């Protein structure tokens, strides 16, 4: 059962306002009025695929629904038919750990369970689930964080997944943490295996984990062979630089590196 990137609210407007039966041409015209000429074919296909509309001999019959919640239940069931109940398992696991269901994070968890789905489809499914009232924002009350590292972890968990650049901006805007302090806290979380980071170089990350601090310097003889081949690219990214014959490692990630708990 395919998923469609439609608005459930607009879908309800269509289902609740259109006549039970009409010609296909009249149905398309009415859907265009409630959505747009470009979006109408998408909504028509979605309604047909999800059993909200039946077509025969140029005539259309709409399924009669009594409430928005009834429509939401139908959409919810179609999502599970397409994505599998593994999606619910992943979402409940994230809920138990107070981690926001970011699309890329959910996609990665599903792939680890053997579900070969696209990131686009996961994003559509999550948006539809929110519109159905399945995913809700909950207010949590916690004790103040023990230190800046725990504060950074809360930001990551609250977002589900975000780039290092966005993490720095949030930490600076909300809490006044410098980029250097964020990098050091993030490294501590990586060492403790409490977060994951997609990095340009695993060799560089392994060195940072081993040194347990940022920045640090390496003499020429201390630079691993695996890292030498990547130095030019890492210098261009601004992650390392040469200083007085030594290699200074500033950080193992760039602003576009993804962080997730």
Collect the ranges in the chain with pLDDT lower than 70.
1, 137-141
**Collapsed DSSP state (helix, strand, coil) of residue 196:** strand
| Residue the block writes with tokens 């107070």 | 98
Query: What is the rounded distance in angstroms from the CA atom of residue 135 to the CA atom of residue 91?
Result: 9
Q: What is the pLDDT of residue 145?
A: 82
Spell out the domains of the chain, with CATH numbers in brackets.
Answer: 8-65 (1.10.10), 69-131 (no CATH), 148-260 (no CATH)
Query: What is the rounded distance in angstroms from the CA atom of residue 52 to the CA atom of residue 61?
Result: 9
Q: What is the pLDDT of residue 174?
A: 86
| Residue the block writes with tokens 């399924």 | 63
The residue among 214, 221, 217 whose CA lies nearest residue 241 is 217
Q: How many CA atoms lie within 13 A of 207 on its CB side?
A: 26
Q: What is the pLDDT of residue 143?
A: 75
Look up residue 229 and give its DSSP letter.
Answer: T
Tokens of 223: 């630079």
Q: What is the pLDDT of residue 139?
A: 59
Peptide bond just before 215 cis, omega within 30 deg: yes
Q: What is the pLDDT of residue 86?
A: 93
């Amino acid at each position: 059962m395919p998923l469609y990137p439609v608005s459930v609210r607009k879908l309800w407007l269509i289902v609740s306002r259109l006549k039970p039966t009409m010609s296909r041409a009249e149905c398309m015209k009415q859907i265009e009025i409630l959505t747009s000429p470009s979006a109408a074919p998408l909504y028509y296909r979605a309604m047909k695929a999800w059993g909200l509309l039946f077509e025969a001999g140029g005539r259309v019959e709409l399924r009669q629904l009594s409430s928005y919640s009834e429509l939401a239940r139908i959409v919810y069931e179609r999502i599970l038919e397409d994505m599998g109940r593994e999606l619910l398992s992943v979402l409940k696991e994230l809920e138990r750990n107070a981690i926001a269901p970011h699309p890329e994070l959910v996609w990665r968890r599903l792939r680890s369970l053997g579900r070969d789905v696209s990131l686009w489809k996961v994003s559509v499914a999550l948006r539809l689930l929110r519109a159905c009232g399945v995913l809700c924002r909950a207010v949590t009350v916690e004790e103040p964080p023990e230190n800046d590292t725990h504060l950074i972890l809360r930001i990551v968990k609250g977002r589900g997944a975000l780039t290092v650049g966005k993490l720095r901006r949030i930490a600076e805007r909300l809490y006044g943490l410098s980029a250097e302090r964020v990098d050091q806290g993030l490294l501590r979380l990586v060492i403790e295996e409490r977060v994951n980071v997609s990095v340009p170089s695993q060799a560089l990350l392994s060195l940072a984990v081993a040194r347990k601090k940022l920045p640090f310097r390496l003499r020429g003889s201390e630079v691993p062979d695996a890292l030498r081949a990547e130095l030019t690219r890492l210098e261009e990214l601004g992650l390392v630089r040469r200083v007085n014959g030594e290699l200074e490692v500033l950080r193992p990630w760039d602003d576009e590196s993804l962080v997730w708990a």
